[in-house]
Each structure stands twice: as structure tokens, then as C-alpha cells.
Structure 1
Amino acid sequence: MSDHKLFSPIKAGAIDLKNRIVMAPLTRNRARAEDDAPYEIHAEYYAQRASAGLIITEASQISPQGKGYAWTPGIYSDAQVAGWKKVTEAVHARGGKIVIQLWHVGRISHPVLQPGGADPVAPSAISANSKSFDGENFIDTTKPRALETGEIAGIVEDYRKAAANAREAGFDGVEIHAANGYLIDQFLKDGSNKRTDAYGGSVENRLRFLKEVVEAVTGELGADRVGIRLSPYSNANNITDSNPQETFVNAIDLLNRYGLAYLHLVEGQTGGPRDVPEGADLSDLYKRFDGVKMGNNGYDRDLAVNRVEGGDVDLVAFGRPYISNPDLVERLAQNASLNPWDQSTFYGGGREGYTDYPVLTETRAA
């Protein structure tokens, strides 16, 4: 193993990691169609990648209402908990650590994916003009219904129940998905939150839903088993904020109260350029956070090594390279070539493009 700091152990809250390489959450749309449960194929896929310091699962909806794409897994039913238990057991058997990403898509959905054909929900009735996936095609998202104030506590409770289910399924912790234009991000950013009640308007009010979710989840699991993902400058799913630096300085100051396991930041645009807007300061956000810092977006080996060595981040999350390289840690340690990914098999399907990528020893023997 390389002697770079990237490959050294670290403790994230209560979770001991054998290296600082993280498998980022990656939506793959392969849950069982009848109940959105993971099954044996997921156990094989994640176990193949257990040499990561930490695996963050694909985003998993906390309720039927939280769903925005066909065949994404949930963490709210007995069948889903049972399916995820197979995954955690397989990962732990290979010495890995794994957390589940808790997800509510908010307005990034369509009535065909909602219980009873209902409208998706959001802080405000503003369309995202984005895309969802109905199992056959990418379709336009629809105009959401603004949540009534009295409904919000029920969604917070769904997060708490999902955290309890994650513990039952054997996860080492959870990551709260508060990024990429989904529900929590929709509350945080003023382009999608036009509310006039206690959840809108001022930065403090727009942080209220995040605060309540964090308190519910940490109250269930303990803060040292809870991470959070933010995307301060990303316009993913057509979300905007008039002053993201102010919003997320305040968000991180709030999160510092809880002693979370880690902060996971999307640097720049989700899956796109790493640039940040004029007047923004990514390093300031990292410096404000008191705990373990995880960077994400467009990392290669050199960037990961340099940013960890320089103390900019403590952990690095790799996304697409983990799709096609189950042994990514070993490849990075040896500075070996990486398998190219096949984008046509990213979403939906079975084992092809999922569990059939070769490891380094197989590649060299071929």
C-alpha cells in the first residue's frame, strides 16, 4: 500500500476507516421493482467495493413520497430493511464500513412515481424544470405542491424512522442527503423556498428543516454515526441561491453544534466543473467545520493525494471511477490504470455494468 496519507486510517465519528478513500453515493436504479428493496445483486456489488475506507450507498428514499426515480431503493419497509441487511453483512464480512444515504427528492418527481398519483411536495409550488425517470424514459418533473406547515413534522419523523431502520439493517451509520436540489436543499436555497412561515424567508428560517432533520437523526443514532452531504454552489436540478456563501456559512455553523461524523461537500457543480461562483470560498466552508471533511467532485489520484496531504480535506469520495473499478483503492495505491466505465449501463438493468467489471489481477491476467 502507498505511504501517502490518502491510504492511512482515520476515525470519522465512531466509525474507524482503514483508508481515506470513500465510495460516493451512486444511483444505479436496480432495486426490486415490486417493493424498491435491494437484494442479492446489491450485496455482491457493494461487497466487491469493501476495500474502500467507507462506502456510502446510493440515495435511498425515506418514504414512498420521497421517491423520484424508478427502481431506487428505500429504507422504510421491512422488505427493504431485510434486503439492506444482506448488503451490510456482505460488506462487513470483507472488512468494510458502510453507511446509507437518506433521501427525500421533494419536487424532483412526478405523479406516476408518487403514492396515489399525488403531486410531489416541496417548500414552495415552484417547478424544478428538471428530469425524473419512470422506468422507461426520462420525463419532465411536474409542478410540486407546497407543503403545509403541519406536514413538515411528519417528514422529519420519516427521517428518524429511516435512521432507526438503518441501524436495524446493520449500517455503520447514515448520511443525510442535503444536496443536489433535493428536498433539504430546496428548503435551504432561496430560489426554491419562497415560504412566509417559520421555514422560509431568513437564512435562519430556511435552515430550520435541516436543523430538525439533523436533530431527529442524531437523536436516534448518535451524532458520531451521522454524516451530511451539502452542495453549496451546485445548481443541480435547477436550484439556485442568491447568496450561497452566507447560506452555507450559517449551515455549517449550525452543524457544528452536533458533533457529526463528517461533512461531505460537493465542490463546484455536481458531476461538472469544480469552479465556484465569484465571491464564494470553498476553503472557508471547510475551515469552519469542526470535524472530518470529505471532498467530492472530479477527483483523480493526484488531486486526492494533494488535497489530503495539504490538509484541505480528510476524505475523498470517488463516484464514477467506483462504478468500473471495484478495487479502486488497490489501483490508486499502485498508481495503476483504471477500467473505463460504460455509461449506457449506469441506470437500470442487471449484472452487466454492475458486478462484472474486472479487478486488477484479472485485468493483468487477460
Structure 2
Amino acid sequence: MTKHTLFSPIRVGALDLANRIVMAPLTRNRARPEDDAPHALHVEYYSQRATAGLIITEASQISPEGKGYAWTPGIYSPAQIAGWRAVTDAVHAKGGKIVIQLWHVGRVSHTSLQPNGQLPVAPSAIAADTRTFDGTTFLPTSTPRSLGIEEMPRIAADYAQATRNAKAAGFDGVEIHAANGYLIDQFLRDGANLRTDAYGGSIENRARLLTEVIAAVTAAWDAAHVGIRFSPFSNANGVTDTDPMATFGHAVDVVNAAGLAYLHMVEGQTGGSRELAQNYDIDALRARFAGPYIANNGFTRDLALTAVASGRVDLVAFGRPFISNPDLVERLRLDAPLAAADQSTFYGGGAKGYTDYPFLQDAVV
């Protein structure tokens, strides 16, 4: 049997990747305030990191309603498509592969961020136990309104249009964001979804939106260009579920039946502990998916090397290390020291803490 390493090439869906190191989606809040479009700064940022086997962009809202934070990019307007096209062209010029993460935040928003100050939408009118950033300050999210059943086709249609826009913007594929307490995750979880119609109650009903979004997206672009992200054991943005093994076992089965290009999972708490409660089994969920598996959350070099070599995972997504190490792939290959990130520049701002981190050869000099 061939022994793979973190640096071995791999085919993922329709994509041939140079290595198994993935740049995880990282919200950085640097889109143009007037139109939520990427611009020249994004071109430099992503192209600097093009040696990743695959770049997954920061989450990008599929519609104005899908927005939850100030200065996050979208993929629904001509200006946004043009801005992303410049990014994908630059990444491809350096031999990289890049997919966009499609995002609807659901209840994780505030009226000040919504069109005409409207209420955010969600499966049920339950406020998220979290805060958001409106461009000036952090403030509690607004209590949402429950989506009407007649609105559900519109949500799926927005994902499909965003997918077509991603193709027009030159992306190599799309990732459906179904993790971290955002809209699709809210529908899946029985702590956020108290509906009594066809989209609530049973696991099958709670997964109906997921199923419909996957169908809509794969109708717009074949399944070999579509991945998905789950965070089955994370309580990010206040989501809870009484039986995540059953909920996400079914969700993974839906994904597997659709033949998606990859399954991307946050292992443990988002940005926190990798430890799982008793009877929670990430490997059992992973085993239900027949395709490539991307593992994410708190991976060190040694942990990533071991996970790939053992065959437990196919690829590893690194988040924060990519912020301060644009050449992370080379640093991991050489086992070189990693630069520390300045957390004060994670969200918002300009080039500082975004495109000014040195490459290894510059750091040595």
C-alpha cells in the first residue's frame, strides 16, 4: 500500500492538488465597506498563500441577508464577482487552487447589518448566544424571525446563484458552510430548530434544508466541484444538539449520497479543544463518507504528519498558522519555526497583520 505524507499530491473531486495542506477559511473583515467586494489587498493576501494544496476562502455571504459581520465579502454582486476574479487569477498564476466558502449566517447577525434594518432570519425565533461586530463595536446578535416555509426555495436558490457566480469568478469549486452555528447548522441542531413543519422535528426534517441546498448547488456545478464543512461537536455561536452523533451521522450520509468532492470537519470545539465528550466519535462520522476527508482544528505539524501517514485523514486544514506564515507549506516541509500572529490585527484594518508577514527567506535575512 502506498504510504502518503502531508506533502503528497492528491486528487479531490475534480481537483489535482500539489499537497494535502489546506488553508482553512478565515474571516478577516477587510472587504470594501461600500460594496463588500474583495480588492487589491485580497489579491496579494491569497496569492501569497498559493502554495497551499487548496485555499478555502474566508466565508462569503450568498446574499445581503446572509451577512453577519461588518466588512465581510459577498459573492452575489457584479463588483464582488470582479473582485474575486482578480483573486483567483492571481492564485492560479502561482499554480494554486482556490474554492470559495458559501455563507449564510442566519441568526448570527444584527439588524444594523441587514438590508433595510430587517430582522435576521433563522429556523426559529431564538437569539444566538453570541455577539457580532457592526463596524464600530461588538454587540449582541438580534433575535431573528423564523423563516416562512414558502421562503425555503429562495434560500436554496441563493446558494445556487452564488455557485454560478463563483464559477464566473474563476474559482475551482465551492464549499458549503454548514458549520459553526450558521444557518444550515442552525437547522440541523435541535437546540436552534424548534419548527413543527417539514423543516423541523425529526433528523430528516432538520436536514431538509441541507439536502435542498446540496441539490441546488450541485445542479449549478457538478458534485466534483463542491465540498462541505461541518462542526458536529462544536457549540460555536450558541448551537446545541441533544444527539450530535445521530444528527451528523445522517448529515454525513446526505453528503455521501450526493457524492461531494470532500468532507471538511472541525474536530472538537471551533478554535478550542480537540477533546470530545464520551460517546462522541469523529472517526465514526468520517467513516460514513467515501471521499476525501479534510480535518481541521488545532493541528500541529506532528499531529498533521501522523494523521495523514496513518490514513485517518486525507488532508489537514490549518487556520491561524496561515495568517502569519504565508509560506506555511515550506515551513512545515522544513520543520522551520513558525512566525507568531498578531491577534490585534485579525479582524479589520489594512495591510498590517494581513499581507506584511515575512516569508522564511526574508525572515532569515
| TM-score category (smaller protein) | over 0.9
Listed one character per residue, the Cα deviations across residues 210-245 of structure 1 (whole Å, up to 9, x for unaligned) are 000001001111000000000000000010000000
Is 1:314 paired with 2:332? no
Tell me, which stretches of 5 or more residues in structure 1 are unaligned? none
Pairing of 1:177-256 with structure 2 (within 5 A) = 177-256=177-256
Q: Is the 8 A contact 1:129 1:142 kept in 2?
A: no
Tell me the residue number matched to 1:102.
Answer: 102
Q: Quick check: 1:81–1:165 contact (8 Å CA) kept in 2? A: yes
Name the CA distance, whole Å, in 2 between partners of 1:151 and 1:204. Answer: 19
Distance 2:144 2:4 in 1: 48
Q: TM-score, normalization: structure 1?
A: 0.98
CA distance in 2, matches of 1:302, 1:258: 33
Matched, 1:169 2:169: yes
User: Could you tell me how far apart the structure 2 residues matched to 1:298 and 1:129 are?
Assistant: 24
Q: 1:142, CA displacement in angstroms?
A: 1.2
SS in 2 for 1:316: strand
Query: For each residue in 1:52-75, what CA deviation from the matched residue of structure 2 results, as whole angstroms up to 9, or x when unmatched?
Result: 000000000000000000000000
Alignment of 1:62 onto 2:29: no
8 Å contact kept, 1:163–1:174: yes
Deviation of 1:275 (Å): 1.2
* Distance (whole Å) between structure 1 residues aligned to residue 119 and residue 228 of structure 2: 27
Matches within 5 A, 1:104-143: 104-143=104-143
SS of residue in 1 equivalent to 2:160: helix
One-letter amino acid of the structure 1 residue matched with residue 354 of structure 2: Y
Equivalent position SS for 1:7: coil
Following TM superposition, by how much is the alpha carbon of 1:136 offset from its aligned partner in structure 2, in angstroms?
Answer: 1.2
Partner of 2:257: 257
Equivalent residue number for residue 30 of structure 2? 30
2:348 maps to 1:348 = yes
Offset from partner CA, 1:282-303 (integer Å, 9 cap, x none): 1101111100000000001000
Shift of 1:321: 0.2
**Which amino acid in structure 2 is aligned with residue 103 of structure 1?**
W
Indicate the SS of the match to 2:258: coil
Q: Aligned ranges for residues 258-273 of structure 1 at < 5 Å?
A: 258-273=258-273
Deviation for aligned residue 1:4: 6.5
- CA shift at 1:34, angstroms? 0.2
How far 1:248 sits from its partner (Å)?
A: 0.7
> Using the alignment, how far apart are the partners of 1:186 and 1:313 within structure 2?
26
Instruction: Check whether the contact 1:232–1:266 (CA below 8 A) recurs between aligned residues.
Output: yes
Q: In the TM superposition, what whole-angstrom CA distance separates every residue of 1:11-34 from its partner, at most 9, and x where no partner exists? A: 000011000000000000000000
**In 1: Cα distance, 2:191 partner to 2:312 partner:** 30
Looking at structure 1, the residues matched to 160 and 290 of structure 2 have their Cα atoms a distance apart, in angstroms, of: 24
Offset at residue 138 of structure 1 (A)? 1.1
CA distance in 2, matches of 1:313, 1:154: 35
> C-alpha root-mean-square deviation of aligned residues, in Å?
0.8
Deviation for aligned residue 1:258: 1.2
Letter in 1 for 2:96: G
Q: Distance in 2 between matches of 1:20 and 1:327?
A: 14
Aligned pair 1:301/2:289, yes or no? no
| Percent of aligned positions that are identical | 66
Contiguous gaps of at least 5 residues in structure 2: none
Alpha-carbon contact 1:20-1:314 (below 8 Å) kept = yes
Q: Distance in 1 between matches of 2:46 and 2:248?
A: 32
Match of 1:48 in 2: 48
3-state SS in 2 of match to 1:289: coil
- Kept in 2: contact 1:4–1:305 (CA 8 A): no
1:277, CA displacement in angstroms? 2.1
2:213 counterpart letter in structure 1: V
Question: Which segments of structure 1 move beyond 4 Å, counting only runs of 4 or more?
Answer: none
**8 Å contact from structure 1 (residues 307, 313) kept in 2:** yes
TM-score normalised by length of structure 2: 0.99
Aligned length: 363
Q: Secondary structure at the match of 1:321?
A: helix
Equivalent residue number for residue 10 of structure 1? 10
Which residue of 2 is the match for residue 79 of structure 1?
A: 79
The equivalent residue for 1:328 is: 328
**Structure-2 separation of matches of 1:240 and 1:312:** 27
1:18 & 1:259 partners in 2: Cα distance? 22
Q: Residue type of the partner of 2:175?
A: E
Query: Which whole-Å CA distance do the structure 2 matches of 1:226 and 1:152 have between them?
Result: 21
Structure 2 residue aligned with 1:160: 160
Q: Distance in 2 between matches of 1:261 and 1:254?
A: 13
Distance, in Å, in 1 between the alignment partners of 2:356 and 2:315 is: 27
- In the aligned structure 1, how far is the partner of 2:265 from the partner of 2:169? 26
In 1, the alpha carbon distance for the partners of 2:132 and 2:214 equals 27
Determine the C-alpha separation between the residues in 2 that align with 1:219 and 1:19: 29
